Amino acid sequence: MNPSSVTAPAHQADAHAHHEPQGFFSKYLFSCDHKVIALQYTLTGMFMAVVGVYMSYVFRMHLANPTAHIPFYGVLSPAAYNSLVTNHGTIMIFWVAMPVLLAGLGNYCIPLMIGCDDMVFPRVNRLSFQIFFLSTVLLLLGFIAPGGAFGGAWTSYPPLSAKADYNMTPWGNKIWLLAVALEIVAFLLGGINFITTAMNSRAKGMKMFDMPVLVWMIVIATIIFMMSVGPLVAGAVMLLLDQTVGTHFFGAQGGDPVLWQHLFWFFGHPEVYVLLLPELGVVCEIICVFSRKPLFGYKTMVYTTFMVGILSMVVWAHHQFVAGIDPRMASIFSLTTIIISIPVAVIMFGMIATMFKGSIDFKVPMLWAVGIIVEFLLGGVTGIYLGSSALDVYFHDTYFVVAHFHYTLIPLVAFGGFAIFTYYFPKVTGKMLDERLGQIHFWGTAIAFNFVFIPLFFSGLAGEHRRIYDYSGFAELATPGMLKMRVIATHALLVMMAFQLPFIWNVLKSLFAGAPAGANPWKANTLEWAADSPPPHGNWPELPEVHRGPYEYSVPGREDDYWPQNAAN
């Protein structure tokens, strides 16, 4: 053995009684427990989701009727419109999708699914959340800074973002950049924890291919994040110097504004897959559990996910087809963009094949999971139009693009978030959610969602440009037909927001008066369901040992149609 390694034998550490920290502060605010940190991330993310939805509510109301007084806001000024649109995008990606889907889900599930008592570096984990929380506060402070919050779009292209003379937000632009940088640091710390935990701390008997596919996908997503974010960190430092010191990295005097676009999208496109993969992992888990069938092609899924990860690093310039990039590169990036739909399609077909001939039980989590597949398919198919450079020249910066990425991200973030929430609510709280309220919530949200964004596809095809404060100045965009599309989308958004009320009521009701869930309400195999609901500090009285893969459902010759990973026989 290496004398320099940590050689404390595991059984010795096992003997430690897990002393649960006492008192509100050490138990909930400054806890190192992965479950508490996961909840902190998730709740912060859900709070920011409310903020982000409120912003979209304000500018959608404004677009439907540009002169109106918006309830709960007032009259929207052009500068405020820009900062709301910018921060809506930033918040939804970096402060909702990342904390809920990656940090929250990963923190909760990785240690529970691989059978250990915590993350390998609990204090680094806590630091990660604290930095994230700081970044949240910083971003929101932008709104009370002199000049208002940053309004140069969530992609923050220079020279608009580089000089306060152009963007008119001398404080807002720097605050925005710092907040994003801090947020990235938080997820780098968390990500190293994720990867190391999954690599090094699996339960006794758990081989690499005994890990649930969700853990694989979170780890691969984290690796993509780590590998792609570096150049953006460097770029953020350069942009910050452009803003504060007056260098010209991205300016006209010797610098190059297109360089920022490359650095941003070198991260920005893999980021889409960082959000996609954990979601697909959850969908795999849910579909297996509610179809009572093994996952179709487990190893193929894992290898395909690696393929998605690698390909996702070579598609980024399809965001820049109209930025004057080299046309030869545009062809290459078109090609890679179309190619990446193949492994994603393989994963989707794997999910559908898992459901095929299964005994499907449409409980609420399953509804959300199937909803993700259906809606994400629409988003993915419209992406093929945008991926071909010839078509993208016409679609770029129209509402077609807006509708496209909302059709991918809302299934992932909102539907996926609800799928996670409804699937793991019994585990986290020990109470069951109400099925009927959950179904009302699902159908209301899913149908209204389509009515928000299908009109936007059409108005985009008709040439409606993004990022315009008031369309009345453009004769061809101010026609009654175009206005009707905007009004339908806005009304559907209001309906969609209203359908969140059953969800909130459901959560409150179930928290206080829900039926007790028991340890394994869904009769699932993976290790987290072997722990109590909610799992205590340390997760298990005795850490589990793994005897088989995670998807042994409906094994012939067994009485039960499931076979927990830790069951001895």
State which of positions 450-479 bind other proteins (CB under 8 A): none
The gap between the terminal CA atoms of the chain, to the nearest Å, is 34
Q: Which of 24, 71, 165, 254 binds other proteins (CB under 8 A)?
A: 254
Nearer to other proteins, 253 or 569 (CB): 253
Q: Pick one of 119, 344, 517, 531: the residue that binds other proteins (CB under 8 A).
A: 119
**Could you say which residues in the range 347-376 bind other proteins, by CB under 8 A?**
none
Nearer Cβ to other proteins, position 147 or 230? Answer: 230
Q: How far is the CB of 404 from other proteins (least distance, A)?
A: 23
Question: CA-to-CA distance for 548 and 566, rounded, in angstroms?
Answer: 8
Binder among 66, 147, 231, 297 for other proteins (CB under 8 A): 231
User: Among residues 308 and 325, whose Cβ is nearest to other proteins?
Assistant: 325
> Interface residues for other proteins in 258-287 (CB under 8 A)?
258-259, 262-263, 266
Range in contact with other proteins (rule: CB under 8 A) among 39-47, 234-242, 351-359, 487-495 = 234-242
* Token code pair at residue 64: 């439907």
Q: Does 120 help bind other proteins (rule: CB under 8 A)? A: yes
Alpha-helical runs (H) found in 499-531 = 500-513
CB nearer to other proteins: give 223 or 494: 223
For residues 392 and 319, what is the distance between their CA atoms, to the nearest angstrom? 9
Q: 């990036």: which residue's tokens?
A: 333
Part of the chain binding other proteins (CB under 8 A), chosen from 9-17, 128-136, 384-392, 414-422: 9-17
CB of 322 vs other proteins, minimal distance in Å: 13
The answer to whether 243 touches 177, Cβ cutoff 8 Å, is yes
* Cis preceding-peptide flag for 294 (omega within 30 of 0): no
- Measured from the Cβ of residue 408, the count of other Cβ atoms closer than 10 Å reads 20
Query: Residue from 65, 77, 200, 359 that binds other proteins (CB under 8 A)?
Result: 200
Q: Which of 50, 68, 137, 252 binds other proteins (CB under 8 A)?
A: 252
Regarding 233 and contact with other proteins (CB under 8 A), the answer is: yes
Residues 211-230 that bind other proteins (CB under 8 A): 226-230
Integer Cα distance of 561 and 552 in angstroms: 8
Among 35, 60, 174, 202, binds other proteins (CB under 8 A): 202
Near other proteins in 399-428, by CB under 8 A: none
Task: Output the CA–CA distances (angstroms, integers) from residue 166 to 46, 145, 176, 178, 504, in the order listed.
Answer: 33, 17, 16, 19, 42
What does each C-alpha distance from 20 to 33, 228, 269, 451 come to in angstroms? 9, 38, 41, 48
- Describe the chain by its helix, strand, coil percentages, rounded to 5: 65, 0, 30
- Coil, helix or strand at residue 21: coil
CB of 446 to other proteins, least distance (A): 37
Cβ atoms of residues 358 and 364 within 8 Å? no
Site for other proteins, residues 320 to 339, rule: CB under 8 A: 324-326, 328-329, 333
Residues 21-40 that bind other proteins (CB under 8 A): 21-22, 25-26, 30, 32
Task: Name 112's Cβ contacts closer than 8 Å, sequence gap at least 6.
Answer: 35, 527, 528, 531, 535, 539
Exposure string over 145-166, b if 16+ CB within 10 A, otherwise e? bebbbbbbbbbbbbbbbbbbee
CA atoms of 297 and 350, how far apart (whole Å) = 7
486 closest CA partner among 500, 507, 465: 465
Q: How far apart (Å, rounded) are the C-alpha atoms in residues 532 and 450?
A: 39
Question: Does the footprint of other proteins cover residue 13 (CB under 8 A)?
Answer: yes
Contacts with other proteins in 285-324 (CB under 8 A)? 313-314, 316-317, 324
State both tokens at 239.
């942009």
CB of 158 to other proteins, least distance (A): 13
Would you say 423 or 540 has its CB closer to other proteins?
Answer: 540
Show the site string, 536-555: x = touches other proteins by CB under 8 A, - = not. Answer: --x----x------------
Size of the site for other proteins (CB under 8 A): 80
Q: Which is nearer to other proteins, 187 or 399 (CB)?
A: 187
Q: What's the min distance (Å) between Cβ of 378 and other proteins?
A: 29
Which residues pair with residue 149 across a beta bridge?
172
The one among 249, 449, 529, 551 contacting other proteins by CB under 8 A: 249
- Contact positions with other proteins (CB under 8 A) in 134-193: 188, 191-193
CB of 194 to other proteins, least distance (A): 10
C-alpha span between 450 and 129 (Å, rounded): 34
The least CB distance from residue 172 to other proteins, in Å, is 23
Binders of other proteins among residues 58 to 117 (CB under 8 A) are 111, 116-117
Indicate the residue among 337 and 510 with the shorter CB distance to other proteins: 337
The residue within the footprint of other proteins, chosen from 142, 151, 158, 235 (CB under 8 A), is 235
Query: In this chain, which of 248, 292, 465, 547 binds other proteins, going by CB under 8 A?
Result: 248
CB of 384 to other proteins, least distance (A): 21
C-alpha 451/C-alpha 445 separation (Å) is 10
Q: Is 54 helix (H, G, I), strand (E, B) or coil?
A: helix
Q: Which two tokens stand for residue 289?
A: 């559990």
Q: What would the DSSP string read from start to end of 370-400?
A: HHHHHHHHHHHHHHHHHHSHHHHHHHTTBHH
